[in-house]
Structure 1
Amino acid sequence: MPAMKTPGVYIVEKSAFPNSVVEVATAVPAFIGYTQKAENGDKSLLNKPWRITSMKEYEKYYGGAPSPKFTISDVAKIEDADFKVRLGGDTRGKGKGLAQDNSRFILYYSMRLFFQNGGGACYIVSVGDYDGDASGDGKGEIKADELRKGIATLIKEPEPTMVIIPEVTSLADLKTCTSVQQAALLHCGNKMRNRVAILDVFDGYKDRQDPDGDCIAAFRDSLGINYLDFATAYYPWVQTTIIPDSEITFNYLNKAGKAALVELLKTELKVAVTDDVPMETPEAGDDGSPAGEPKPSKEGQMILDQRANLAKELDNVIEFADAVAAKIALRDGGDEQLKGKTDADIESLVLSERALLNKTLMAVSPLYVQVLKAISARLNLLPPAAAMAGIYTAVDTTRGVWKAPANVSLASVSAPAVNITHDDQEDLNVTTQGKSINAIRSFIGEGTLVWGARTLDGNSLDWRYISVRRTMIMMEESIRLGTKAYVFEANNAQTWITIKSMIRNFLTGIWKRGGLAGASPDDAFSVYVGLGETMTPEDILEGILRVSVLVAVTRPAEFIEITFTQQMQKS
């Protein structure tokens, strides 16, 4: 207050209430990966964490989906086939496989899965685009070094509470994938200690009895033992509905794939002449002439003519449907259909041609439908970490961070990639090494559920459950930030009492909402601070104020045992 030297009235305001601890955000994931672009106006967002709140914002700053391209090839074992080709009298069929010839960029699809499972505010770190250079061929490479650099950019961002790297599973091998995941563990458990990593299992779409080996055992062996309490992992991958069937066309095939498809369709359309069209047999003549050979009916002949014309035009129509890249050359090259057309006109024409061809093939070719379903299955197969980040957000919002993110259904998921039984989950959940893997299971009448809530440090009684770890992070960060106001205050009894009261009020609120276990606040937590209690005279001389907080965090009922015993009849 100013010195009172001039006569008048002076106002003095005094604080009636002490500072309070404000609960920090608990569900703000950071996604690291590759995007179509990374720009805010004329400013680059490459390797810069940027906060968004919706898919619309993502597309504004980072663009749209990648352009995956597949080729069609023979497979050695029919069991490994993506689809089967049965022509003529071949009942077993020939196996065909799909192979993607460009990098598997999945951040865009993972973001859609995140928001559809309840996701909200999050950070994006774009480490590169789909091309990798100016070629525009969509064949940019996913590199471990670039993903690790993306992790490092989050050190200066205090808000994110989760780290997810969907495209780490698209790296060349398990060793490279694990190196990035270990960097994420180091970031979460050593450098920051205020966030957790949600990890995907490399090759997690495979069964554990796969001839190539047990993906879970390989994941556990390669991950190491450091900072496991700051991470959780989920198995298996999930089959999603992120990309609807209506968006799947032959345009997902590369040039060689389209050529192979054309040949298969031509063969199918020709073989189908005697297989599935209405036929009729001419009756014997009155003059004793024998009955004629079966031949297509009028309706059948119309179908045959349609197929014959389609088979004949397949090359031309598909080639024309790919004309966007060379539309100017086509227009100026004397093509009568394109004369006088603008670029926009040609693009519209190409799209209509593609749509018409796709609709026609869907109607007359079962093989084409098979191919599209195989492509859809490939594109919609995604690792589950992004979906889990969305579920964490939804559960935190509705129930609180102390509620285990389990026994919750996954949205936009049709089925897990591998069906897990009760017995299968035993080794996933409880293992000698303690590296628990949370299962995603399908239950009859309930759908696909998250059926596990452990960290990778499953042998620790302190940090076994991910809800406990995340609740502790929330309380630690909230109290740390709240207590920051008392740095350089007098290290005396008045400050100690104020800090103790502030922390107790905060923890009482958590206890009332169910985050701490106990019949009363005194049973749920204790706060100690003061000389002779948490500090020595030497601590005070050195400027140290020590506070000790004990909490009983609510833990999930992972196993429920109900005992039945028969008793004697009483009446």
Structure 2
Amino acid sequence: MGNMKTPGVYILEKNAFPNSVVEVATAVPAFIGYTERAVNSGLDLTNKPWRITSMAEYHQYFGYGPLQPSEGAPYTSFKLEKIAPPAADGTPGATPAPTSAPADGKPVFKPFAQRDTVSLNVGGDKYTLTQNGGFYLLYLSMLHFFQNGGGPCYVVSTGGYSRDAGIQIDGSKFTAALDELTKELEPTMIVMPEAVLLSDAECAKVQVAALMHCGNVMKNRVAILDVWEGYQERNAPANVIDNFRNALGSNYLAFGAAYYPWVNTAIVQDRDLSYVNLTPDDDDGNRAVLTTALKGESARSLLGPKAATYYSSKADFKRPDQIPKEDQAAVSRFDQVAKQIDSVPAAKGVEMGLLARSLATLSPFYNAIMGEMAKRLNVMPPSPAMAGIYTMVDNARGVWKAPANVSLNSVVSPTVPISSEQQEDLNVTPQGKSINAIRSFKGEGTLVWGARTLDGNSLDWRYINVRRTMIMLEESVRLAAKAMVFEPNVANTWVTMKSMISNFLTGIWKRGGLAGAVPEDAFSVHVGLGETMTPEDILEGILRVTVLVAISRPAEFIEITFQQQMQKS
């Protein structure tokens, strides 16, 4: 107000209410992984956290997936090989040799190697189908995240796709992305689905770095981790659960949660694949296996028994005079189909799509191969879906509701069925490293059946909703308290601070976030000289506030007691 020197009316406004605490966002995951591109109007977004709210924005900035990129041929490829039939003496046929050999005497890690050991039985013949390119999971992970209720999130691209055979994932780029995320305060979760594509040691190194980032550096987010090779059973050649627990160490476990097993999803459909995914463009050798099998299938279905036998013993029908007259019409039909099949390796552009649709219509063998490829690509780590579940539960019930007893969308089944007895060791272990189970229940679908952090022995931080609720309360109050920095450290400021925090906590209590019949049972705020501060604290410019909260905890175990009583009437 100006000095009162000129006669007139002067207006003076006074604030009637104190500052308020605004609840911070609780469900903003940050995804780290490889993308087709990372560009915004010519600006390179590689290793830069970028906020998106939908798959449309993801396509705009980061392109599409390795299965159907926006430009060029698919990066995802499989190798199809026929297993030789047993010899006359019963000796098993030779199995195709591995496609990659150790480098420098060190074993080469092949992700999904155990998954691809399953052979295919088609038309009486056995085949192996091994993925040899396009090992990238982030795009499918983003689809799974949004299908399970995901919303705003950050994406940190660690690089583009590579057409080189094998796995092209660099663990150092994940740790570099974590360093970049220290500049962003909004993310509340870290999700790295492609970390499982690293070797076991590299994967553990990245996951430990994520826990340190969440619990030591930022202290305002949690990491959702995947079990390395978690699509396998625990009695596989190596116990994946024991290996996971041993590699994590013991620091900052309260800031992480892990889920097992992986899930069979329905994200990739058969129609998303074609024979083009069998090999890279410059290698038609494996497509020759496909064309030979397709011609054999067509011969069995189109030709009579005699003509089919003739086909199996001859390379081609160059002697029409030797074909029985009653089979010549069928042979003519087969010859037309065979010519179309022979065009598979040479097809280009639009022809490829037309040919793929024709094969899908005519050939059960072709559909079986495409279905098996889709089935294998649909084996996904659960962390992206869980990030979506966290978001959905937060929006519907609040961050204090445990993200458990919730069904997963676009999930057919867990890769490993888990019984109640098998879950006991996952949930409660002497080391305290609890792993949440994903289980299938008859009539209910696939449910998340656990809500613990990796610090399962801690009564403070056993449950993931307690950890995340405390993060929300701490961050909300911290940001609101910045307005009080350099204010006079006197009783008026203390009262303002106390009322501001109390009003915020009362609102949380009314919504069910704090446990108590009345607000006094749910929380208390203490501040003042002789209560939280000494005269020396005031001289040193320190204002101390103590907040006690009773966070609601989930009813993990429900016991109902039945007892008989005497008849009363």
TM-score tier, shorter chain, comes to: 0.7 to 0.9
* Amino acid of the structure 1 residue aligned with 2:28: V
**1:205 corresponding residue in structure 2:** 231
Describe how 1:384-403 pairs up with structure 2 within 5 A: 384-403=382-401
The one of 238, 244, 256 equivalent to 1:231 is 256
Distance 1:218 1:108 in 2: 27
Structure 1 residues 297 and 235: CA distance shift in structure 2, 3 A: farther
What is the DSSP-based 3-state SS (H/G/I as helix, E as strand, rest coil) of the residue aligned with 2:17?
coil
Instruction: Please say which of residues 138-147 and 532-541 is displaced more in the overlay.
Output: 138-147
TM-score by length of 2: 0.86
Alpha-carbon deviations, 1:276-296, whole Å to 9, x = none? 9999xxxxxxxxxxxxxxx99
Describe how 1:391-430 pairs up with structure 2 within 5 A: 391-430=389-428
Alpha-carbon deviations, 1:180-217, whole Å to 9, x = none? 1111111000000000000011101111121x211111
**1:497 corresponding residue in structure 2:** 495
Contact 1:40 1:61 in 2 (8 A): yes
Q: Tell me whether 1:264 sits opposite 2:293 in the alignment.
A: yes
**1:119 corresponding residue in structure 2:** 150
Structure 1 residues 311 and 555: CA distance shift in structure 2, 3 A: same
Distance 1:304 1:568 in 2: 86
Q: Tell me whether 1:532 sits opposite 2:544 in the alignment.
A: no
Contact 2:120 2:129 in 1 (8 A): no
Contact 1:110 1:166 in 2 (8 A): yes
What is the DSSP-based 3-state SS (H/G/I as helix, E as strand, rest coil) of the residue aligned with 1:549?
strand
Deviation at 1:138, TM superposition (A): 8.2
Alpha-carbon deviations, 1:425-474, whole Å to 9, x = none? 11111111111111111111111111110000011100000000000000
Structure 1 residues 208 and 304: CA distance shift in structure 2, 3 A: farther
Alpha-carbon deviations, 1:318-349, whole Å to 9, x = none? 1232x3xxxxxxxxxxxxxxxxxxxxxxxxxx
Contact 2:224 2:258 in 1 (8 A): yes
Distance 1:79 1:110 in 2: 19
Deviation at 1:244, TM superposition (A): 1.9
**2:192 corresponding residue in structure 1:** 165
Distance 2:330 2:491 in 1: 94
Give 5+ residue unaligned stretches, structure 1. 280-294, 324-349
The one of 110, 118, 121 equivalent to 1:85 is 121
Distance 2:296 2:138 in 1: 38
Contact 1:278 1:297 in 2 (8 A): no
* Amino acid of the structure 1 residue aligned with 2:139: Y
Deviation at 1:83, TM superposition (A): 4.2
What is the DSSP-based 3-state SS (H/G/I as helix, E as strand, rest coil) of the residue aligned with 2:182?
helix
Distance 1:4 1:114 in 2: 63
**2:316 corresponding residue in structure 1:** none
Structure 1 residues 156 and 80: CA distance shift in structure 2, 3 A: closer
Contact 1:381 1:417 in 2 (8 A): yes
**1:339 corresponding residue in structure 2:** none
Q: Tell me whether 1:175 sits opposite 2:173 in the alignment.
A: no
Describe how 1:280-359 pairs up with structure 2 within 5 A: 305-315=332-342, 317-321=343-347, 323=348, 350-351=349-350, 353-359=351-357
* Amino acid of the structure 2 residue aligned with 1:492: V
Structure 1 residues 79 and 204: CA distance shift in structure 2, 3 A: closer
Contact 1:130 1:140 in 2 (8 A): no
* Amino acid of the structure 1 residue aligned with 2:58: Y
**1:71 corresponding residue in structure 2:** 79
Describe how 1:513-552 pairs up with structure 2 within 5 A: 513-552=511-550
* Amino acid of the structure 1 residue aligned with 2:530: G
Identity of counterpart residues, as a percentage? 58
Structure 1 residues 235 and 308: CA distance shift in structure 2, 3 A: farther
**2:459 corresponding residue in structure 1:** 461
* Amino acid of the structure 1 residue aligned with 2:45: L
Contact 1:518 1:552 in 2 (8 A): yes
Structure 1 residues 471 and 302: CA distance shift in structure 2, 3 A: farther
Distance 2:169 2:272 in 1: 25
Q: Tell me whether 1:154 sits opposite 2:181 in the alignment.
A: yes
Distance 2:144 2:171 in 1: 23
* Amino acid of the structure 1 residue aligned with 2:8: G
Contact 2:439 2:448 in 1 (8 A): yes
Distance 2:275 2:468 in 1: 45
**2:313 corresponding residue in structure 1:** none
Structure 1 residues 14 and 36: CA distance shift in structure 2, 3 A: same
Deviation at 1:37, TM superposition (A): 0.6
Q: Aligned-pair RMSD on alpha carbons?
A: 2.4
Q: Tell me whether 1:558 sits opposite 2:556 in the alignment.
A: yes
Describe how 1:467-486 pairs up with structure 2 within 5 A: 467-486=465-484
Structure 1 residues 18 and 304: CA distance shift in structure 2, 3 A: farther
TM-score by length of 1: 0.86
Distance 2:118 2:306 in 1: 27
The one of 118, 133, 140 equivalent to 1:109 is 140
**1:506 corresponding residue in structure 2:** 504
Distance 1:79 1:548 in 2: 53
Deviation at 1:102, TM superposition (A): 2.2
Contact 1:83 1:374 in 2 (8 A): no
Distance 1:354 1:277 in 2: 33
Structure 1 residues 363 and 228: CA distance shift in structure 2, 3 A: same
The one of 368, 371, 376 equivalent to 1:370 is 368
Contact 1:129 1:140 in 2 (8 A): no
Structure 1 residues 32 and 509: CA distance shift in structure 2, 3 A: same
Give 5+ residue unaligned stretches, structure 2. 67-74, 84-94, 97-113, 309-323
Structure 1 residues 101 and 488: CA distance shift in structure 2, 3 A: same
Structure 1 residues 560 and 296: CA distance shift in structure 2, 3 A: farther
Deviation at 1:542, TM superposition (A): 0.6
